[in-house]
């Protein structure tokens, strides 16, 4: 395990402020090197660092204190930010932060499906409703219904009624939105949800190579962790792989879209934190943060 004096492991509230400050400042510097033209758009240039900084803190709060399957630390926000930088060579915008927060809420609800203290009907309804709202923001994410239903089978006993509850909750805001657009005094055009399989190939970025290496390593360690970890942590690991697989499919079937990047960062970051106690040999866990920093630095330089 990482030492207790690790800056992003210290639960003191002041460390959260440092996390927001450094991720905001770092985002501004990165955006400056990746696209000086952002200075011409004053609002975008200043809102991106603020949103990314706040998102790094919110993601940690949502996944730690709501899901309750990770220790109280700030590694989640740190890893998410490093992954976000490593997976793209474009300037970061407020959209990545907002989408990541939305996906983290969806991920937290996925985990709460296994919490017996929660009302199952309410949790499944929230899951479908959240998936639909994210789809209304970005039509590509309407496909979140599929992993939402699959998540019901991750360590749980599933019946047809459970799936139907998720689907109904997913349909309600969509039907309401379509009905709203059909009103005669509304001039907005309905969204067009059209996914065209367009599998293309490009050489991965340096940061993507780093993430790919850790992904293969994490995959090999997951089986070991699943045999030793408690049920909540095992479910967290499986949910992480569900989200990672979903993000990879989005990257293949919609190569011109970047929505998969925040999704992959949100799901892969907690997965690495979950594996902290199961990485063998133990010394390798100390290479996680430096490797992501190296990937981010190389992407900035290139």
Burial 127-153 (b: 16+ CB within 10 A, else e): bbbbbbbbbeeeebbbbbbebbbebbe
Q: What are phi and psi of 226, to 5 degrees?
A: -65, -25
CB 83 within 8 A of CB 268: yes
Distances (CA, A) of 142 to 162, 171, 176: 19, 10, 15
Say how far residue 66 (Cα) sits from the centre of its chain: 15
End-to-end CA distance of the chain: 33
Distances (CA, A) of 209 to 65, 78, 118, 188: 32, 19, 40, 42
Q: How far apart are CA 124 and CA 152, in angstroms?
A: 9
Q: How far apart are CA 151 and CA 123, in angstroms?
A: 12
Provide the token pair at 246. 């979903």
**pLDDT tens per residue across span 33-83:** 776 554 555 566 778 888 999 998 888 888 776 555 555 567 788 888 888
pTM attached to this predicted model: 0.82
Per-residue confidence (pLDDT) for residue 284, from 0 to 100: 77
- Angle (deg, nearest 10), helices 231-253 and 260-274: 150
Per-residue confidence (pLDDT) for residue 1, from 0 to 100: 45
Domain residue ranges in the chain: 13-117+202-301
DSSP annotation of 8 reads: T
Instruction: Find the farthest-apart pair of alpha carbons in the chain and give their distance in angstroms, rounded.
Output: 65
Per-residue confidence (pLDDT) for residue 5, from 0 to 100: 45
Distances (CA, A) of 81 to 76, 115, 265: 9, 29, 8
Q: How far apart are CA 87 and CA 281, in angstroms?
A: 26
Per-residue confidence (pLDDT) for residue 202, from 0 to 100: 59
Q: Is the dihedral of CA 219, 62, 57, 51 positive or negative?
A: positive
CB 52 within 8 A of CB 95: no
Intervals of the chain under pLDDT 50: 1-7, 38, 190-195, 197
129: Cβ contacts below 8 Å, ≥ 6 apart: 169, 170, 172, 173
CB 82 within 8 A of CB 293: yes
**pLDDT tens per residue across span 230-258:** 777 777 778 888 888 898 888 877 766 77
> Residue 5, Cβ neighbours under 10 Å: how many?
7
CA neighbor of 45 nearest in space, from 31, 57, 56, 66: 31
DSSP annotation of 281 reads: S
Q: How far apart are CA 212 and CA 210, in angstroms?
A: 5
Provide the token pair at 174. 């969509």
């Amino acid at each position: 395990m990482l030492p207790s004096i690790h800056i992003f492991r210290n639960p003191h509230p002041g460390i959260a402020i440092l996390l927001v400050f450094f991720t905001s400042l770092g985002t501004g510097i990165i955006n400056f090197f990746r696209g000086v033209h952002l200075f011409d758009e004053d609002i975008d240039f200043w809102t991106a660092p603020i949103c990314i900084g706040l998102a790094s803190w919110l993601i940690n709060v949502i996944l730690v204190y709501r899901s309750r399957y990770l220790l109280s630390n700030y590694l989640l926000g740190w890893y998410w930010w490093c992954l976000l930088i490593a997976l793209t060579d474009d300037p970061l915008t407020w959209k990545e932060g907002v989408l990541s927060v939305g996906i983290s809420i969806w991920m937290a609800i996925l985990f709460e499906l296994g919490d017996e203290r929660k009302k199952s009907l309410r949790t499944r309804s929230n899951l479908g409703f959240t998936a639909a709202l994210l789809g209304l923001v970005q039509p590509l994410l309407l496909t979140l219904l599929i992993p939402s239903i699959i998540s019901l089978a991750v360590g749980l006993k599933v019946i047809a009624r459970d799936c139907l509850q998720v689907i109904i909750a997913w349909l309600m805001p969509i039907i309401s939105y379509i009905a709203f657009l059909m009103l005669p005094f509304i001039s907005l055009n309905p969204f067009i949800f059209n996914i065209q399989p367009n599998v293309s190939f490009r050489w991965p970025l340096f940061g993507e190579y780093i993430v790919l290496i850790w992904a293969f390593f994490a995959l090999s360690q997951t089986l070991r962790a699943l045999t030793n970890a408690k049920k909540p942590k095992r479910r967290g690991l499986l949910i992480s792989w569900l989200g990672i697989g979903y993000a990879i499919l989005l990257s293949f079937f919609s190569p011109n879209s970047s929505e998969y990047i925040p999704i992959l960062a949100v799901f892969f970051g907690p997965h690495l934190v979950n594996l902290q106690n199961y990485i063998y040999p133990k010394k390798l866990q100390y290479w996680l943060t430096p490797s992501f920093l190296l990937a981010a630095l190389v992407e900035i330089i290139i």
